[in-house]
A and B are shown apart, each in its own frame.
Chain A
């Protein structure tokens, strides 16, 4: 189902167990209405401004009872006026509410207009980089932003694109929805996927991971940007768990295609430390944390470092960021960070290793229930011949060597004499 809707981001939502869970899963920041649509088309699509969350709950039941096969759309629009719609195709006729739908996403790539807002020097550099990529026969580049909440993922997205794509507010986290922004420029498509923060209530939010996983289904990730703040002084167990969660989701391989992005780069380091020193220490501890969280062995990690280290890039999203003479945003070291980041991204994506394609198998992982099933008869035979028989033999030995009370032995000795 390829839905092309101008100005709409369309998601197809998968695996709906019941209507209540839809409401639970969709963030309350959006207002939804439920629209019956004919199979595969969007004939009657009309937004309403009703703010009743109860309506989607009531509607489907009615619909289910009347129409045999329908597709449903959740329409939502957030406060910015970005329309989002979720389509549910449920084979209600068959009565199976647990049907898992293939999820496809349609994305409306737009012209990258934001690039024009960059200073000319930056624009030139970016064009140069993209041109280089095109030469290498790559027409798209997908970047995934992940990290804890409030570290500046969405801001980074906005900064890179030069548009206010994602809402950013200082004190509020945005919704649970991941979002993908696609921009084309000169025949090259840049996809950046912004994801919700992975931490909730001091734990890794598996629900968010679940949503991200489903969102990423059938997408190919070229580069992962693991975002954290430069001005956070220490790493703790939670960081490790976030790393672990990412590793569990995409596999260890993802770290070969990842960049550690440290935001809030324009800071004054603590007393007695130079900026460079602080940066080195911070990135070192974070890399160590990644190594431990992802359970990459030391040697393996060394290997990583040697032939393709996890690069660390600095980012400063603030409007107060210093600029150079060309008007480019620069880091304390004087490097313009946007072209630098894009360059690092391209070098990582151009590396030999394959991009990560998120498919059903990767999301669900190998089915542990199927693993080794083939060997069960062998295992059973082993257990019978070696364990059960072995224990039986020791029991026999026990019986022979059992310390019998003296009366039994005297009597048997006597019996022997006769």
Chain B
């Protein structure tokens, strides 16, 4: 018979999840929660159904940090392809396979899970309860049918007996073991045992299967599953086809009383149908190496057995799941008993992409955001026609999250009811409030007497801010804030910032990503130009006040590489400690007096400059994280071009180029929890200015982002600057230690800054340092030795140097 029916299909349950899942609300056909909740906050989403240990760990995390973590919806995500319950009944004779396809008329593939949740849940209820003794003499074999329907039997032992090999299969790792939902120690009724037997018989793995019970002295039963494994003719080649979205081939009912000729005709027709089906099907994503691996598995085995098929299925599915094709499933093996094994896979083709907006209560509502804004953020791989990949989903989630328009984002694949094997990708979005305003106050605390923290003043400081986001649904926004350290008397120091952001300058459907930004700002900073050298008396500080407007266009090439160009119009005024405008730097003389004839603070010499200049910045950044360590290259070129508009007609070209290389010193395996590689960081920075150079635009040497181990500007202020640095990072546990060496020089250009602030404040103009440190969370603790004085000190800094 086996020879006569070459197109016999093995039916294998369609998920690699062990059959005995812990029942949870979401598993049962995932009716309430079929979601794949992807969180950008988590790098790994343990939702691959293939991993049995992850059964209850798929967390739905809301994108917004404030929202917190919602309840775990256990069970991962399960694709439940609705299909009728497995047909019962004999099939077309037991020669070829235990379960014949021909007669069932059901789905091409059946869900063998269907009875499971029910029995499992029952099982859970029962297991805690008393069980009944079998009430029979010990050590006799009892037929299943002979058991009492009223009793609850405890199974203390389960044995597998391969009749063909006449041996007992031991070891839970045997692939058959997971087929059986019964577990030793469980309590079952006769009906349950019969159901189990039935499902084993229909799964296609066995030609024949039986359950025998052996009574034991303690009243429990030892169960023996005796089986004959299905086998087919040996095959030499392997083909994998994608049968997703394909029409199920209609099986013509085979009459039992067909003549031989009719039977032959029927089989031939089936064969033809199947060939056509293979032709129509699309090829699989499965790459050549995996296919070859399967072929060698087939060759090694000789005969195709059910266990082999199971192993093939596992291998194929593992590849898919490893690659993130979480919806891919091996649904069938066809063409058995020929030279070729055909593996039918439903890969999970996306048939539809739907974007829904939810209101606060979770009801679907009309969103303010234009759909094109969301669509441009989705990777191509999430569009209809592609195979759903969990990584693409994550990418989509990250991209949408980076719009920061939504408080909650969910990307869910959902089985398509209309076309079998299809996936609908649902994107559910909760929009943030469009307008918001905020007032916050604060009291500053500074070290006071004996280092105790004290309030610097009784006056409260604070910030008033407002936001209007997502104007027109196109992610345009106006954000403004006013900050004062003294809210009672805010005219003393008031800093404000108003930003208008206009993305998609070239149109929302244009792939070119350019963003227009206009802002109005002011700032007050301590000028590092007017800083004393080492050991010098304290230099009276000079504050640089800037206020102005800025307009620029940013073109994003990649997530990190971008090009910004625009115009800046600003007024710069320099002030001394008393907030009055000052025109020259001041230095204390040894006699105690003040020398007023320091370097001019401004170009105009009046203490206030106004100027308009063009600004451009191009950043090339291809750094990426390898187990948390940055690897790659980063180059930044920045240019300020004076246009001759402003006080004293400033015309200048101020440019800086900095280049950083993060070189991986040893290749490591990537993956969560793996140790990052040691990294060598090389950094160079050149800056220069041709033309008018006011002191506030001079480059300063020294400081945590220039030459470590020195204070800001301690080494000098100059027209041209060259900084070189190298740092070696060695990972230790989940952080790293590093050692560095840095050098900065003014290239002899300090004298080219008007008034020579470097010399006026007795600075050297160059310096190098070396040291070592450790990264503790956000903080870098480092010991740096500066070579000018030869002394070292410990520093604590926030953030990264490079």
Contact = CB atoms under 8 A, between A and B. Distances in A.
Contact of B597 (A17, A201, A395, A407): A17
A388 B637 contact: yes
B466 interface: no
A388 B323 CA distance: 38
Interface stretch (A83-91, A275-283, A299-307, A375-383): A375-383
A21 interface: yes
B226 to A, nearest CB: 43
Contacts of B597: 17, 21, 207, 210
Nearest to A28: B591
Contact of A411 (B381, B618, B639, B655): B381
B693 A368 contact: yes
B719 interface: yes
Q: Is the interface of A mostly helix, strand, loop or mixed?
A: helix
Given A200-B590, A408-B379, A411-B387, A368 B719 contact: yes
A331 B651 CA distance: 60
Given A391-B637, A411-B389, A375 B751 contact: no
Nearest to A21: B596
A396 B555 CA distance: 13
B653 A380 contact: yes
Nearest to A367: B754
B552 interface: no
B547 to A, nearest CB: 24
Contacts of A373: 651-652, 690-692
Contacts of B325: 407
Nearest to A20: B596
Interface in B564-622: 589-590, 593, 595-597, 603, 605, 616, 618, 620, 622
A399 interface: yes
A413 B637 CA distance: 36
Given A21-B596, A394-B635, A407 B620 contact: no
Contacts of A387: 618, 637, 657
Interface in A381-418: 383, 387-388, 391-392, 394-396, 398-399, 402-403, 405-408, 410-411, 413-415, 417-418
Interface residues of A, number: 45
A203 interface: yes
B693 A369 contact: yes
A248 interface: yes
B557 A395 contact: yes
Given A201-B590, A414-B285, A376 B691 contact: yes
A399 B559 CA distance: 11
A284 interface: no
A81 interface: no
Interface string B185-200: 0000000000000000
30 contacts: A24-B593, A368-B751, A368-B754, A369-B691, A372-B690, A373-B651, A373-B692, A376-B641, A376-B651, A379-B690, A380-B639, A380-B641, A391-B637, A392-B618, A395-B561, A398-B561, A402-B558, A403-B624, A406-B323, A407-B323, A407-B325, A407-B392, A408-B379, A408-B392, A411-B285, A411-B380, A411-B386, A411-B387, A417-B282, A418-B282
Complex A-B, nearest 5 residue pairs according to Cβ-Cβ distance, in ascending order: A368-B752, A201-B590, A407-B389, A372-B690, A411-B381
Interface of A: 17, 20-21, 24, 98, 200-201, 203, 206-207, 210, 248, 365, 368-369, 371-373, 375-376, 379-380, 383, 387-388, 391-392, 394-396, 398-399, 402-403, 405-408, 410-411, 413-415, 417-418
Given A207-B589, A380-B639, 16 more contacts: A17-B596, A200-B590, A207-B595, A368-B754, A369-B603, A369-B691, A369-B692, A376-B691, A380-B653, A388-B637, A391-B620, A391-B635, A407-B325, A408-B392, A410-B387, A411-B285
